[in-house]
Amino acid sequence: MSSSASPTAVTRADVSDYYGTVLSKTEDLKTNACETSSAPPEHIRECLKKIHPDVIAKYYGCGLTIPDLLDGLTVLDLGCGSGRDVYIASQLVGPAGRVIGVDMTDAGQLDVARRHEAHHASAFGYDAPNTAFRTGFIERLEELDLAPGSVDVIVSNCVINLSPDKEAVLRGCLRLLKPGGELYFSDVYSDRRVPKVLREDKTLWGECISGALYWNDFQNMARAVGFGDPRLVEDSVITVNNAALEKIMEPHRLRFFSATYRLFKIAELEPHCEDYGQAVVYKGTVPRHPASYVLDNHHEMETGRVFPVCGNTYRMLRDTRLAPHFDFIGTWDRHYGIYADCGNDIPFASAAPGDGGGGEGGCC
């Protein structure tokens, strides 16, 4: 049984209290699980300069969850907290776009985000805010009064692990996304299923550790819901950095990883990387990526170069907002079998050598 299907003593109220009361600022975190290890790119740093310090102070994220090509789109942020990523995305979608943040915690989180809406609209040069904040549960997105198929991109930063029903979160995302839309998110994963004794520890759960999904349960869950072929973008090891909590966890010999995935809503995606003799040519036109474009940790496509791809990668580029930036070569008329080395080992490149790291995802 997957860890997400097993009961836990940690409730939504416990999580809300942890982020609304126990934590008052980023420095209150007891581990490094909810911290972003890599520096943001330059354009994100520029966006951060315009965000109110009260919002920045309450950031609890583990990755970079803002994809490219957001201008004019509708973006939904799951577990938006005080709104840092909402206000980054607000600048990137522009005045014609819209960003919606949802969180279950008003006190100390949404209260802060809402308090500074007018400030940010003015700072971004907008006549009116292009943001909205909703109180709600990410596993009950159907209650948010958002129409099915109305969202272009869904982002989330180290929050889905906190949900008691992760499959419901993914189902809700699939329902809200437009065809060709994507869920682009960072979260925490384990190299094996987290035992019940750790899942019942409120601090470990609140620190985004004991609610983590075993990586293979996540990938199987995503496929079962309808997100075929989850693509890993980047990952890093979580070292916890808390002696007391490490002592509790040590007998279970678990390893945890922060990872960013992108899941596309494309019904025709196949379970594995099938070869149809297709290829793409990147035009070099995605802003800030003139030399190459990185789809995931297995696909960096140089500008002007013919790049062979599997059928799934072909669809992820052709049937999404990425299509104008590529030329497409080939048809579906002939199948050449599965791509070699399309394996099922632990996907994280940050796993130690010999552990099979990096074996999953796009492999063409």
Burial 282-292, CB ≥16 within 10 A → b, else e: beeebeebeeb
pLDDT in tens, 171-214: 999 999 999 999 999 999 999 999 999 888 888 877 778 889 99
**Residue 97, both tokens:** 């776009």
Q: What's the whole-number mean pLDDT along residues 271-277?
A: 93
Q: List the single range of 30-39, 83-92, 249-258 with lowest mean pLDDT.
A: 30-39
Give me the residue label for tokens 């709104």: 83
Please, what's the largest Cα pairwise distance for the chain? 59
Are 157 and 62 within 8 A, CB to CB?
Answer: yes
Compute the average pLDDT of residues 297-304. Answer: 96
Lowest-pLDDT choice from 58-72, 108-122, 124-138: 58-72
User: Which ranges constitute the DSSP H helices of 124-262?
Assistant: 166-176, 196-199, 202-206, 215-225, 243-249
Dist. CA 109–CA 111, nearest whole Å = 5
What does each C-alpha distance from 59 to 24, 79, 194, 284, 339 come to in angstroms?
Answer: 10, 11, 26, 33, 41
In this predicted structure, what is the pLDDT of residue 2?
46
Residue-level pLDDT at 3: 44
For residue 340, name the pLDDT band (cuts at 50, 70, 90). confident
3-state secondary structure of 204: helix
pLDDT band at residue 316 under the 50/70/90 scheme: very high
- Per-residue confidence (pLDDT) for residue 23, from 0 to 100: 47
Q: Which residues pair with 307 in a beta bridge?
A: 280
Segment 350-360 shows an average pLDDT of 57
Q: Looking at residues 129-138, what average pLDDT do you find?
A: 97
Q: What is the pTM of this model?
A: 0.88
Mean pLDDT to the nearest integer, 145-153? 97
* Least reliable range by pLDDT among 32-41, 307-316, 338-347: 32-41
Element (H, E) at 315: helix 311-318
* Residue pair 55/116 in contact by the 8 Å Cβ criterion: yes
